[in-house]
Structure 1
Amino acid sequence: MSRYPFEFFNDIGREQSADRVRFVLRAVIEPMAAKRHCASLRNISRDHCMLRKAVPSDLLALKAVRSSVVENILSDPTKVTDDDYDLYVANPGVAVWEENGEVVGFSAADPRNGNIWALFVVPGFERNGIGSILLAEACACLKSAGIGRAWLTTDRNTRAERFYRAAGWEHVGEKDNELLFERSL
Structure 2
Amino acid sequence: MNIITREARLEDIPQIQVIRNAVKENTLSDPGLVTDRDCELFMFERGKGWVGEAEGQIAGFSIVDLQEKNVWALFVHPDFENKRVGRKLHDIMLDWYFEQTKEHIWLGTSPQTRAETFYRKSGWKEIGVHGKNEIKFEMTYDNWKDRIV
- Alpha-carbon contact 1:109-1:138 (below 8 Å) kept: yes
Q: 1:181 aligns with which of 134, 137, 140?
A: 137
The corresponding residue for 1:73 is 27
Partners of 1:136 and 1:127 in 2: how far apart? 15
- Alpha-carbon contact 2:60-2:85 (below 8 Å) kept: yes
More strand by share: 2
Partners of 2:102 and 2:64 in 1: how far apart? 11
The corresponding residue for 2:101 is 146
- Which structure has the larger Rg? 1
How far 1:100 sits from its partner (Å)?
2.8
Partners of 2:120 and 2:89 in 1: how far apart? 16
Amino acid at match of 1:60: P
How far 1:89 sits from its partner (Å)?
2.6
Ranges of 4+ aligned residues in structure 1 off by more than 4 Å: none
SS at match of 1:96: strand
The corresponding residue for 2:120 is 165
SS at match of 1:85: helix
> What do you get for the CA RMSD once the two structures are aligned?
1.4
Q: TM-score, normalised by structure 2?
A: 0.87
Gaps of 5+ in 1: 1-43
How far 1:65 sits from its partner (Å)?
0.7
Partners of 2:43 and 2:140 in 1: how far apart? 24
Identity of counterpart residues, as a percentage? 36
Partners of 2:43 and 2:131 in 1: how far apart? 24
- Alpha-carbon contact 2:126-2:135 (below 8 Å) kept: yes
Q: Do residues 59 (structure 1) and 8 (structure 2) align?
A: no
**Corresponding residue pairs, total:** 139
Q: TM-score, normalised by structure 1?
A: 0.71
